[in-house]
């Protein structure tokens, strides 16, 4: 008869050391939950391997040059994989990283046209180094601690709504109404107020399935929802031939948002890593001028500085990992790895890499430790070689997770004291401006500025942490950067 495997003392010691280091048992998790969480996080953010190259690769720099899309895809996957694993090992927190959306558009369409790609990426490296210095000096953590506890809760809630609208828009469930339609309503349901596309049907069915599984407390509900939706999408595409959202440069409103869910002809592809190290630290200062360079670095700095703070609070809040001051464990290590990722993204020409709120999908699946990051990061590294396979999962399948996670994060709104207007109004502005302006930083900025203003107006200026005054001033400058650029340049 076959003998069952019995662990040796050496194996037991290794397993115990692994468990203790990542605090798997201490945080009420299991290796199985961490694996599921890592898979869920990867599937909800794998789109960046496709989307980031499209954003950067379709833009031109001041010399009319473009970056090669295959090289961008490989570099995007590489940096995301390495930095996500580093976050898992150093900070031991279930927070994945990749090229930041919004920041990449800023680099592509505002910064690069005024200089070369190497110059633009050099500014991203400089910004990452500055943030790292702020972390090492303790200033970044101190700023985070100065934010009131209930405002931190509001940040998490706002990000939940932000995730929800991202999911709804990416799935085509909610769409922008063209200005030519002659209506003041900015968005609407589907196309013409109707859900008439096959991708929308896949999203709705996948979302309903996921919600049922969540209510029934089925393990792996979110991951099952993504995989089931992907299978359905593949079947639908095989039968109906929906196609992409753009065909020969012409819009196809009924097409899949980004990835067309069909089985690839090839699975393995050789990565092109030629963009690594393609940056210049000093070129931008000569090409665009000192003032322009400083303004760009400041904008990148503010965006990265506060986006990550909001993201780690939201993820920690979802996983019950925050302390009484709404601080996640190893805050300093989290922020340090994030700053290194910003610089690494610039050094690899993928723009600033930052923490991803999609990590909340993994936390909702049970991830509580850095082990989930080992899974997510490992899959990103594999994506360098398996790029054709990564694009099988369409937005419409992955977006189901974002909507469900948005609901789970929204539940924390009950802990905010809505009878105290001094905190309720800043909390409200923080929550609504994140989804309505498509920016975490905008929501945090509005919340901080209004909080400081209301405290001063009520004669309670001493209740505001001194650092928060400085943060409020910086956000005022951030919001006024348009007029300032006009005056200065």
pLDDT tens, position by position, 211-254: 999 899 887 788 888 889 999 999 999 999 998 887 777 888 88
Amino acid 159: pLDDT:
82
Lowest-confidence region among 63-67, 292-296, 395-399, 413-417: 292-296
CB 413 within 8 A of CB 242: no
Tell which wins on pLDDT, 217 or 8: 217
For 412-436, how does the pLDDT look when each residue is reduced to its tens digit (9 = 90+)?
A: 899 899 999 999 999 999 999 989 9
| Residue 8: predicted pLDDT | 61
Instruction: Specify the residue for token string 């190259």.
Output: 53
pLDDT tens for residues 186-217? 888 888 888 889 999 999 999 999 999 989 98
Return the number of other C-beta atoms located less than 10 Å from residue 180's C-beta.
6
pLDDT at 2 over 50: no
Q: What whole-number distance in Å separates Cα of residue 332 and Cα of residue 312? A: 11
Which letter, b or e, does each residue of 427-451 get, where b requires 16 or more Cβ atoms within 10 Å of its Cβ?
Answer: bbbbbebbbeeebbbbbbbbbbbbb
Q: What is the pLDDT of residue 362?
A: 93
CA distance 321 to 303: 24
296, 276, 377, 284: which is closest to 103 by C-alpha?
296
DSSP-assigned letter for residue 148: -
pLDDT category at 181 given cuts 50, 70, 90 is low
> Given this model, what pLDDT does residue 462 score?
93
Percent helix, percent strand, percent coil in the chain, to nearest 5? 65, 5, 30
Residue 23: pLDDT band by 50, 70, 90 thresholds? very high
pLDDT of residue 482: 73
| Residue 103: band (very low, low, confident or very high) from pLDDT cuts 50, 70, 90 | confident
**pTM of structure:** 0.78
The residue to which tokens 């200065």 are assigned: 488
Average pLDDT score over residue span 97-114: 86
What pLDDT, in 10s, does the model give residues 289-343? 787 788 788 878 877 877 888 889 889 988 999 888 888 999 999 999 999 999 9
Mean pLDDT of 276-290: 87
What confidence tens digit (pLDDT) does each residue in 436-452 have? 988 878 888 899 999 99
When pLDDT is cut at 50, 70 and 90, the band that residue 7 belongs to is low
- Whole-angstrom distance, CA of residue 146 vs CA of residue 148: 6
3 pLDDT band, cuts 50/70/90, is very low
Share of the chain above pLDDT 70, in %: 95
């Amino acid at each position: 008869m076959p003998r069952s495997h019995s662990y040796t003392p050496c194996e037991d010691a290794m397993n115990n050391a692994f468990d203790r280091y990542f605090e798997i048992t201490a945080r009420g998790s299991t290796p199985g939950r961490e694996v599921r969480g890592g898979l869920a996080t990867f599937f909800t953010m794998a789109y960046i391997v496709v989307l980031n190259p499209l954003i950067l690769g379709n833009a031109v720099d001041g010399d009319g040059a473009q970056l090669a899309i295959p090289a961008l895809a490989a570099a995007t996957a590489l940096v995301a994989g390495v930095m996500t694993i580093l976050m898992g090992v150093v900070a031991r927190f279930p927070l994945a990283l990749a090229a930041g959306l919004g920041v990449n558009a800023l680099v592509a369409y505002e910064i690069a046209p005024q200089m070369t790609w190497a110059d633009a990426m050099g500014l991203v490296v400089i910004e990452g180094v500055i943030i790292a210095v702020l972390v090492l000096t303790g200033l970044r953590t101190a700023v985070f601690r100065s934010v009131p506890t209930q405002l931190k809760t509001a940040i998490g809630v706002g990000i939940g709504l932000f995730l929800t609208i991202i999911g709804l828009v990416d799935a085509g469930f909610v769409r922008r109404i063209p200005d030519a339609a002659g209506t003041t309503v900015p968005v609407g349901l589907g196309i013409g107020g109707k859900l008439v596309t096959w991708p929308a049907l896949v999203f709705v069915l996948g979302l309903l399935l996921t919600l049922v599984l969540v209510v029934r407390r089925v393990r792996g509900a979110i991951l099952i929802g993504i995989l089931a939706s992907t299978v359905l999408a593949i079947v639908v595409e095989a039968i109906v031939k929906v196609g992409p959202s753009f065909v020969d440069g012409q819009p196809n409103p009924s097409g899949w948002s980004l990835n067309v869910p069909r089985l690839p002809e090839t699975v393995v592809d050789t990565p092109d890593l030629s963009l690594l190290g393609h940056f210049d630290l000093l070129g931008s200062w000569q090409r665009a001028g000192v003032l322009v360079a400083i303004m760009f670095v400041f904008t990148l700095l503010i965006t990265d500085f506060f986006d990550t703070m909001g993201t780690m609070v939201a993820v920690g809040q979802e996983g019950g990992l925050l302390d009484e001051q709404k601080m996640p464990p190893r805050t300093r290590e989290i922020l340090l790895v994030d700053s290194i990722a910003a610089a690494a993204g610039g050094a690899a020409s993928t723009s600033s890499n930052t923490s991803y709120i999609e990590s909340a999908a993994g936390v909702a699946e049970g991830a509580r430790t850095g082990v989930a990051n080992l899974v997510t990061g490992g899959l990103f590294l594999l994506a360098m070689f398996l790029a054709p396979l990564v694009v099988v999962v369409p937005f419409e399948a992955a977006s189901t997770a974002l909507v469900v996670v948005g609901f789970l994060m929204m539940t924390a709104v009950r802990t905010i004291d809505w009878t105290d207007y001094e905190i309720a109004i800043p909390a409200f502005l923080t929550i609504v401006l994140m989804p309505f302006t498509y920016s975490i930083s905008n929501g945090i900025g509005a919340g901080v500025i209004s909080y400081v203003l209301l405290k001063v107006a009520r004669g309670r200026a001493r209740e505001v942490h001194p650092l928060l005054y400085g943060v409020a001033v910086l956000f005022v400058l951030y919001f006024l950067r348009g007029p300032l650029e006009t005056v200065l340049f």
